């Protein structure tokens, strides 16, 4: 099979509400290769989660997919029937949700919830499924899995539940895993463990991973490439290291600036992005970021910037990208 | 004023209201009944409880569209020559009066006790909520039936009995809301600078509880009217001299087997219509005012 | 577990004790039962004699002590009208009421479960809207009026179902039941349906609301992301979660059915304990009223207890304390 594993083209997911149409995702493009880890970052409300749900076809009214293509192994998922999508969900693409406290069925045992995935997507016998369930629980680091099969979710801590959720997501060895803020709801000490676990398991299984997060620190440690979203649009995409080292979009620069650093010169106060995320009902006419951008000029308020390639593998949607003069980028490479 | 009205027309609430046929019909029914009970006695053909206006010659008249119907008695007459339509108008007055009186009293008492219980907490709260719990585990109809059986029928007694079983709903809702507010920072802040937090809580709690109270009260009017009708039907509700719709059904039932179906069917139909209208409206308000569903 | 049960049983007795005090006090303040049982021609001396014979001349707390002692011995007084023990009168009529209530429960559940689940799973479907409209009408209907309409149509107009009484009864475990014979079944069907209507309509609305609430939750979305079929999503994930709160309300509904059986039995002249209560209220037969209330209160307390036990069985999160 040639070509990328996943290619999203001009995806638009809109929500029709009384106050108007919310363009939660408005024309985003990205690609993902087998085994690659892509980070999607941005502030909350930027359309990251909706992107994940759109790929799996889990958008409910008043939301709808207004256009675009989601090509998975060359086939457009948006054209598939609900029945066909059901066979893809879990088996080909699985998802890890933000809050492990609410993503497991409170009235079913852990064992049964993993087993359900195996029944749906594998030809294993009951004994085989039990063995696989124990193996999965062991993989995600749950001690004495035999004793845990008949436990209910409320008997587990948040971190343990997220491990179970990951075990479920991995059960049918999917080609792609979408993790939507997998560690946001967890204690800081547990976050690092869960991320390390995910990275190890994803690498071992050869799956690709889309890591949706608002936390650039998480992205910098795990991902190969990063796409930055702001108000439903992609504003920058680049290999992780380059993005961290030389952000082109003022918004990315702002996000990076607000991370505390251990090394480097001491700053008296962490810089922050001024202003607030605009209301999605009432986006500015030009670049959505213009009202908060210290580099914005006249054109930024009039014209929406297009995503354009500024260097191999680097794309940015900005009229006056920071430090992205053609020569400098070339020299850097 | 004009400016205010214009903005109301543009709210989501109004927008959803006009697009919800159930809500519009519900409001229309409720308004129809309110107008009827206010101006009704002025336009009914007779005062059904003025013995002088009754004529036994008019008895057993069927509704106007049936053979032997009389144009002056649209819905027919009962065994004493009483015009059913007039009796329904007077009966609706009594039913609606009881419904509104009980809800106003229950709401006032329940809100007060809920505020007190939630604010002071401790033993008083424990006691009140225990009473609420026990009372809620018994069907309201049975408790009211027992009270009426003990004290005998009467309009005032009926209102008291239905209030005694009704206040608990409000008390529980209000108490819950006060408990939420009591733990907010501004209450601690007020205490720290030596202010009594009660007026502040009141100012914060009242707007919060207003919407749930409106929903509970609307639906409660319908429940009260139904319970009142049931008690009156059993003969322990309103006195015979002030028949509500429920008592009219009972009086009609006594002559049902002589073929006089209209004197019990029509009053019952008006109970259903009134309660249905109130429930339609209550349903809409609940869906619209409940932020959890948005 | 054992401490929990003991605690609950103790609580049940406290509630029953409170009910007995309230019932006794309220009944004592009202009316003069002596006047009900002496003949209208009785002289003042005869009335005073009867008062002493009934123990009504003693102080209130003393009367209550006697009442409570008798209560604990299963003696709830003798009916003024029937001249028989009130408890016996009620127990004799209990099977008739219980079979009526039971059949109503069966009818309500058989209709409400499928309708409620469907309306909750497909809220925008035309049929769902019709179900919801019907159920709103159902909770707006005065049940006694429905009974009258049914009697008028099926008994008076068509004449193929009887309008009153219990008909022939069959015997099961030595207890007479109407539903065991065809004639008895024809008698019970109208009252059972009349009684079921309100509960049925209310349960439809509750089940629908619960299903909709559960279907919005995260774990349902996660199950969808697992590739679970719609059917399995509804029945194996949503339904059980939706029914947990319904169980609590259902317990209350059984109590309410027993209460409303008084109305239904009165309309259909069904010889149950509810009709006995209404008759006793009309004749001021105090011992029967008191006995009915004490027995029904005990039944409600028992139902609540059973509901709590069932609740802990279906929801693993609830722990018996």
Three-state helix/strand/coil letters over chain A: CCCCCEEEEEEEEEEEECCEEEEEEEEEEEEECCCCEEEEECCCCCCHHHHHHHHHCCCCCCEEEEEEEEEECCEEHHHCCHHHHHHHECCCEEEECCCCCCCCCCCCCHHHHHHHHHHHHCCCCHHHHHHHHHHHHHHCCCCCHHHHCCCCHHHCCHHHHHHHHHHHHHCCCCCEEEEECCCCCCCHHHHHHHHHHHHHHHHHHCCEEEEEECCHHHHHHHCCEEEEEECCEEEEEEEHHHHHHCCCCHHHHHHHHCCCCCCCCCCCCCCCCCCCCCCCCCCCCCCCCHHHCCCCCHHHHCCCCCCEEEECCEEECCCCCCCCCHHHHHHHC
Query: Tell me, what's the pLDDT at C276?
Result: 93
Q: Locate the chain B residue with the closest alpha carbon to A20.
A: B12
Shared-domain flag, residues C204 and C290: yes
What is the C-alpha to C-alpha distance for residues A173 and A94, in angstroms, rounded to an integer?
9
How does strand A233-239 pair with strand A308-311?
A: unpaired
Place of tokens 């039995």: C265
Q: Is the Cβ pair C226, A120 closer than 8 Å?
A: yes
Contacts of A91 in chain C (CB under 8 A): 227
Shared-domain flag, residues C137 and C284: yes
Mean pLDDT of chain C: 84
Question: Looking at chain A from residue 105 to 134, which residues have their Cβ under 8 Å from any Cβ of chain C?
Answer: 105-108, 116-117, 120-121
Q: Locate the chain C residue with the closest alpha carbon to A115.
A: C226
pLDDT at B100 over 90: yes
Cα of C318 to nearest chain A Cα, Å: 10
Flag whether residue C213 sits within 8 Å of chain A, measured between CB atoms. no
Instruction: Tell whether the torsion through CA atoms of C197, C202, C204 and C207 is positive or negative.
Output: negative
Q: Is the Cβ pair B234, C293 closer than 8 Å?
A: no
Residues of chain A with pLDDT > 70: what percent? 92
Render pLDDT for B177-221 as a digit per residue (tens, 0 to 9): 888 877 777 777 777 777 776 777 777 777 777 888 888 999 999
Both ends of chain C: CA-CA distance in Å? 7
What is the C-alpha to C-alpha distance for residues A232 and A287, in angstroms, rounded to an integer?
12
Q: Is the Cβ pair C227, A91 closer than 8 Å?
A: yes
DSSP count for chain B of H helices, then E strands: 11, 0
Contacts of B258 in chain C (CB under 8 A): none
Q: Locate the chain B residue with the closest alpha carbon to C32.
A: B150
Q: Is the Cβ pair B149, C281 closer than 8 Å?
A: yes
Contacts of A56 in chain C (CB under 8 A): 225
Of residues A250 and C173, more confidence is placed in A250
H or E segment to which residue C100 belongs? helix C86-121
**Residue C81 domain-assigned?**
no
Q: Is the Cβ pair C244, A107 closer than 8 Å?
A: yes
Contacts of C221 in chain A (CB under 8 A): 58, 97, 103
Cα of A59 to nearest chain B Cα, Å: 16
Provide DSSP, C251-270.
HHHHHHHHHHHHHHHHHHT-
Of residues A22 and A116, more confidence is placed in A116
C18: containing domain: 2-72
Is residue B204 a contact partner of residue B181, using CB atoms and an 8 Å limit? yes
Shared-domain flag, residues C166 and C206: yes
Query: Tell me, what's the pLDDT at A328?
Result: 42
Contacts of A18 in chain B (CB under 8 A): 12, 15-16
Flag whether residue C152 sits within 8 Å of chain B, measured between CB atoms. yes
pLDDT at A289 over 90: no
pLDDT at B140 over 60: yes
Q: Locate the chain B residue with the closest alpha carbon to A18.
A: B12
What is the C-alpha to C-alpha distance for residues A198 and A182, in angstroms, rounded to an integer?
10
Shared-domain flag, residues C54 and C129: no
Shared-domain flag, residues C163 and C254: yes
Least confident of C13-17, C45-49, C111-115: C45-49
CATH number at C258 reads: 1.10.3720.10
Query: Tell me, what's the pLDDT at B152?
Result: 83
- Name every residue whose Cβ is closer than 8 Å to that of residue C173 and which is 6 or more positions away in sequence: none
Of residues B28 and B71, more confidence is placed in B28
Both ends of chain B: CA-CA distance in Å? 29
Q: Locate the chain B residue with the closest alpha carbon to C150.
A: B265
Write out the E strands in C83-181. Answer: 170-172, 175-177
Q: Is the Cβ pair A95, C222 closer than 8 Å?
A: yes
Q: Is the Cβ pair C225, A106 closer than 8 Å?
A: no
Is residue A181 a contact partner of residue A154, using CB atoms and an 8 Å limit? no
Flag whether residue A19 sits within 8 Å of chain B, measured between CB atoms. yes
**Residue C165 domain-assigned?**
yes
Contacts of C26 in chain B (CB under 8 A): 146-147, 150
Q: Is the Cβ pair A58, C227 closer than 8 Å?
A: no
Cα of B256 to nearest chain C Cα, Å: 8
Flag whether residue A61 sits within 8 Å of chain B, measured between CB atoms. no
Render pLDDT for B29-39 as a digit per residue (tens, 0 to 9): 999 999 988 88
Residues of chain B with pLDDT > 70: what percent? 89
Shared-domain flag, residues C116 and C210: yes
Query: Tell me, what's the pLDDT at A232?
Result: 86
Contacts of A168 in chain C (CB under 8 A): 226
Interface predicted TM-score (ipTM): 0.85
Burial tier of B213 (Cβ tally within 10 Å: 0-12, 13-18, 19+): buried
- Name every residue whose Cβ is closer than 8 Å to that of residue C196 and which is 6 or more positions away in sequence: C103, C104, C105, C107, C108, C111
Query: Tell me, what's the pLDDT at A329?
Result: 41
Shared-domain flag, residues C43 and C116: no
Mean pLDDT of chain A: 84
Flag whether residue C21 sits within 8 Å of chain B, measured between CB atoms. no
Least confident of A165-174, B196-205, B249-258: B196-205
C24 token code pair: 């006794």
Nearest CA to C189 out of C214, C162, C207, C169 is that of C162
Burial tier of A69 (Cβ tally within 10 Å: 0-12, 13-18, 19+): middle
Q: To probe the interface with B, which of C13, C36, C131, C144 has the most B CB atoms within 10 Å?
A: C144
Centre a 10 Å sphere on the Cβ of residue C303 and count the other Cβ atoms it contains.
Answer: 18
Query: Tell me, what's the pLDDT at A333?
Result: 34
Last residue of a domain, one of C72, C103, C134: C72
pLDDT at B293 over 50: no
Of residues A319 and A268, more confidence is placed in A319
With an 8 Å Cβ cutoff, the interface of chain B facing chain C consists of 22, 134, 136-139, 141-142, 145-147, 149-152, 222, 226, 229-230, 233-236, 246, 249-250, 252-253, 256-257, 259, 261, 264-265, 268-269, 271-272, 275-276, 278-280, 283
Q: Is the Cβ pair C149, B22 closer than 8 Å?
A: no
**Residue C126 domain-assigned?**
yes
Domains held by chain C: number: 2
Contacts of A120 in chain C (CB under 8 A): 226-228
What is the C-alpha to C-alpha distance for residues C26 and B149, in angstroms, rounded to an integer?
10
Task: Tell me the domain boundaries of chain A.
Answer: 248-261+270-333
Nearest CA to B248 out of B95, B43, B29, B63 is that of B95
Q: Locate the chain C residue with the closest alpha carbon to B278.
A: C140
Q: Is the Cβ pair B234, C31 closer than 8 Å?
A: no
Q: State the Cα torsion B177-B179-B183-B184 to the nearest 10°.
A: 20
Contacts of C240 in chain A (CB under 8 A): 107
Cα of A19 to nearest chain B Cα, Å: 8
Of the partner residues C219, C227, C315, the one whose CB lies closest to the CB of residue A86: C227
Nearest CA to C293 out of B239, B234, B144, B131 is that of B144
C206 — phi, psi (to 5°)?
A: -65, -45
B34 token code pair: 């309110």
Q: Is the Cβ pair B268, C151 closer than 8 Å?
A: no
**Residue C78 domain-assigned?**
no
Cα of B171 to nearest chain A Cα, Å: 31
Flag whether residue C137 sits within 8 Å of chain B, measured between CB atoms. yes
Last residue of a domain, one of C46, C72, C98: C72
Flag whether residue A9 sits within 8 Å of chain C, measured between CB atoms. no
Contacts of B16 in chain A (CB under 8 A): 18
- Name every residue whose Cβ is closer than 8 Å to that of residue B221 and which is 6 or more positions away in sequence: B99, B100, B103, B278
pLDDT band, very low/low/confident/very high, at C29 (cuts 50, 70, 90): low
Contacts of C8 in chain B (CB under 8 A): none
Render pLDDT for C97-108 as a digit per residue (tens, 0 to 9): 999 999 999 999
Q: To probe the interface with B, which of A18, A19, A20, A281 has the most B CB atoms within 10 Å?
A: A18
Shared-domain flag, residues C154 and C253: yes
Point out which residues pair with A26 in neighbouring strands. Answer: A12
Render pLDDT for A172-190 as a digit per residue (tens, 0 to 9): 889 999 998 888 878 888 8
């Amino acid at each position: 099979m040639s070509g990328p594993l996943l290619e999203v083209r001009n995806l638009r997911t809109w929500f029709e509400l009384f106050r108007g149409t919310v363009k939660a995702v408005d024309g985003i493009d990205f690609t993902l290769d087998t085994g690659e880890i892509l980070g999607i970052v941005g502030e909350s409300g930027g359309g990251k989660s909706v992107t994940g749900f759109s790929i799996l076809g889990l958008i409910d009214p008043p939301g709808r997919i207004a256009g675009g293509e989601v090509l998975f192994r060359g086939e457009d998922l948006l054209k598939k029937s609900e029945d066909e999508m059901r066979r893809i969900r879990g088996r080909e693409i699985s998802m890890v949700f933000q809050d492990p406290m609410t993503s497991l069925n409170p009235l079913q045992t852990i064992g049964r919830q993993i087993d359900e995935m195996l029944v749906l997507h594998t030809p294993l016998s009951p004994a085989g499924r039990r063995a696989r369930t124990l193996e999965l629980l062991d993989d995600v680091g749950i001690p004495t899995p035999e004793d845990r099969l008949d436990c209910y979710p409320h008997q587990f801590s948040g971190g343990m539940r997220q491990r179970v959720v990951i075990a479920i997501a991995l059960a049918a060895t999917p080609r792609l895993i979408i993790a939507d803020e997998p560690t946001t709801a967890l204690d800081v000490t547990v976050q690092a463990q869960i991320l390390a676990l995910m990275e190890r398991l994803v690498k071992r299984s050869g799956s690709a991973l889309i890591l949706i997060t608002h936390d650039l620190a998480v992205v910098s440690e795990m991902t190969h490439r990063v796409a930055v979203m702001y108000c439903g649009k992609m504003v920058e995409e680049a290999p992780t290291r380059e993005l961290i080292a030389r952000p082109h979009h003022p918004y990315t620069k702002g996000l990076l600036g607000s991370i505390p650093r251990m090394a480097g010169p001491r700053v008296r106060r962490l810089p922050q992005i001024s202003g607030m995320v605009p209301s999605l009902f009432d986006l500015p006419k030009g670049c959505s970021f213009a009202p908060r951008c210290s580099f914005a000029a006249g054109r930024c308020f009039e014209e929406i910037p297009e995503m354009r390639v500024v260097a191999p593998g680097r794309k940015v949607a900005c009229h006056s990208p920071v430090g992205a003069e053609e020569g400098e980028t070339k020299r850097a490479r | 004023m004009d400016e205010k009205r214009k903005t109301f027309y543009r709210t989501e609430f109004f927008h959803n209201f006009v697009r919800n046929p159930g809500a519009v019909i519900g409001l229309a029914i409720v308004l129809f009944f309110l107008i009827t009970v206010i101006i009704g006695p002025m336009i009914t053909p007779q005062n059904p409880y003025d013995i002088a206006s009754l004529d036994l010659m008019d008895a057993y008249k069927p509704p106007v569209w049936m053979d032997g119907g009389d144009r002056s008695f649209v819905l027919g007459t009962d065994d004493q020559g009483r015009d059913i339509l007039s009796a329904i108008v007077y009966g609706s007055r009594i039913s609606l009066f009881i419904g509104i009186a009980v809800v106003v009293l229950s709401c006032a008492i329940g809100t007060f006790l809920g505020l007190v219980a939630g604010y002071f907490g401790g033993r008083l709260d424990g006691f009140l909520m225990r009473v609420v719990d026990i009372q809620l585990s018994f069907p309201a109809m049975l408790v009211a039936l027992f009270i009426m059986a003990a004290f005998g029928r009467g309009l005032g007694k009926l209102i008291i009995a239905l209030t005694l079983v009704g206040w608990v709903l409000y008390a529980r809702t209000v108490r819950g809301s006060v408990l939420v507010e009591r733990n907010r920072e501004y209450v601690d802040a007020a205490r720290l600078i030596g202010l009594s937090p009660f007026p502040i809580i009141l100012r914060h709690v009242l707007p919060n509880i207003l919407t749930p109270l409106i929903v509970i009260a609307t639906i409660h009017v319908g429940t009260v009217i139904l319970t009142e009708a049931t008690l009156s039907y059993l003969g322990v509700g309103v006195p015979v001299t002030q028949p509500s719709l429920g008592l009219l059904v009972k009086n009609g039932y006594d002559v049902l087997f002589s073929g006089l179906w209209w004197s019990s069917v029509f009053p019952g139909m008006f109970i259903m219509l009134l309660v249905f209208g109130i429930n339609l409206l209550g349903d809409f308000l609940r869906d619209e005012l409940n932020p959890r569903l948005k | 577990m054992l401490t929990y049960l003991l605690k609950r049983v103790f609580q049940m007795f406290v509630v029953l004790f409170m009910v007995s005090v309230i019932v006794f006090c309220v009944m004592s303040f009202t009316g003069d039962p002596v006047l009900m049982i002496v003949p209208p021609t009785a002289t003042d001396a005869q009335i005073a004699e009867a008062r002493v014979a009934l123990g009504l001349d003693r102080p209130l707390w003393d009367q209550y002590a006697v009442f409570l002692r008798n209560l604990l011995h299963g003696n709830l007084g003798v009916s003024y009208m029937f001249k028989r023990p009130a408890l016996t009168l009620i127990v004799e009529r209990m099977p008739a009421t219980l079979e009526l209530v039971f059949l109503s429960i069966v009818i309500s559940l058989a209709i409400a479960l499928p309708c409620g689940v469907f309306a909750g799973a497909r809220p925008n479907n035309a049929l769902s809207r019709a179900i919801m409209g019907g159920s709103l009408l159902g909770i707006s209907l005065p049940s006694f009026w429905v009974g009258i309409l049914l009697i008028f149509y099926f008994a008076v107009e068509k004449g193929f179902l009887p309008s009153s009484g219990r008909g022939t009864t069959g015997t099961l475990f030595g207890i007479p039941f109407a539903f065991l014979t065809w004639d008895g079944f024809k008698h019970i069907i109208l009252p059972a349906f009349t009684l079921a209507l309100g509960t049925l309509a209310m349960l439809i609305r509750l089940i629908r609301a619960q299903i909709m609430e559960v279907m919005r939750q995260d774990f349902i979305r996660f199950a969808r992301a697992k590739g679970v079929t719609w059917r399995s999503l509804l029945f194996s994930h949503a339904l059980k979660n939706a029914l947990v709160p319904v169980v609590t309300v259902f317990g209350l509904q059984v109590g309410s059915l027993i209460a409303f059986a008084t109305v239904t039995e009165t309309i259909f002249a069904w010889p149950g304990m509810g009709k006995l209560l209404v008759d006793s209220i009309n004749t001021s037969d105090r011992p029967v009223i008191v006995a009915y209330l004490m027995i029904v209160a005990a039944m409600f307390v028992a139902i609540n207890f059973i509901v709590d036990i069932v609740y802990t069985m279906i929801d693993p999160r609830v722990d018996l304390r």
